[in-house]
Amino acid sequence: MSNKAKTYEQFLAQLSPDEVEVINYLVDTIKEELPKAEMVMHWGMPLFKIRGEDIIALAVQKYYFSVYLWTMDWTKKYKKELKSLNLGKGCLRFKKLKQLPEGMLRDIIQQAGKRK
């Protein structure tokens, strides 16, 4: 989905209620795991930064959600769990939130925040 949203509210306004639920869950989880992360809008999507460095971005595509991470270290640790997901270069794609084991998601978020 091409998104030119300048604010998080504008971003959410373009989504379906189900998509809003998933994105809000991801944002809340990131804020819980990385309380020092600052959320900004960049490239039309929510982007989390720590000390000015990009850490995690979220996007809603036509058929899936994307979590962009600037490190791929987590792919080795969760190789078995990730088999059912679609991985791109630096991103994790999924259609339903239940595809992401919560413990794995929280650990990946924590790892992303420690990469500096």
Closest CA to 38 of 23, 56, 13, 26: 56
Question: The CATH number of the domain where 72 resides is what?
Answer: 3.90.1150.200
113 — phi, psi (to 5°)?
A: -70, -20
- Using a pLDDT cut of 70, give the percent of the chain over it: 91
Does a structural domain hold residue 2?
A: no
CA distance 73 to 36: 21
CA distance 33 to 35: 6
Predicted confidence at residue 25, as pLDDT, reads 95
The one-letter amino acid code at 100 reads L
Does a structural domain hold residue 54?
A: yes
The CA–CA distances, whole Å, from 89 to 21, 33, 40, 71 equal: 25, 23, 22, 9
Number of separate domains in the chain: 1
pLDDT digits (tens, 9 = 90+) for 50-70: 999 999 999 999 899 999 987
- Using a pLDDT cut of 90, give the percent of the chain over it: 47
pLDDT-flagged residues of the chain (< 50): none
Does a structural domain hold residue 89?
A: yes
Does a structural domain hold residue 100?
A: yes
Predicted confidence at residue 72, as pLDDT, reads 65
Does a structural domain hold residue 50?
A: yes
The one-letter amino acid code at 7 reads T
In this structure, are residues 46 and 27 in contact, taking their beta carbons and an 8 Å threshold?
Answer: yes
pTM for the whole thing? 0.88
Does a structural domain hold residue 85?
A: yes
- Residue 56 domain boundaries: 8-114
Does a structural domain hold residue 68?
A: yes
Does a structural domain hold residue 99?
A: yes
The one-letter amino acid code at 41 reads M
Predicted confidence at residue 115, as pLDDT, reads 65
Predicted confidence at residue 10, as pLDDT, reads 92
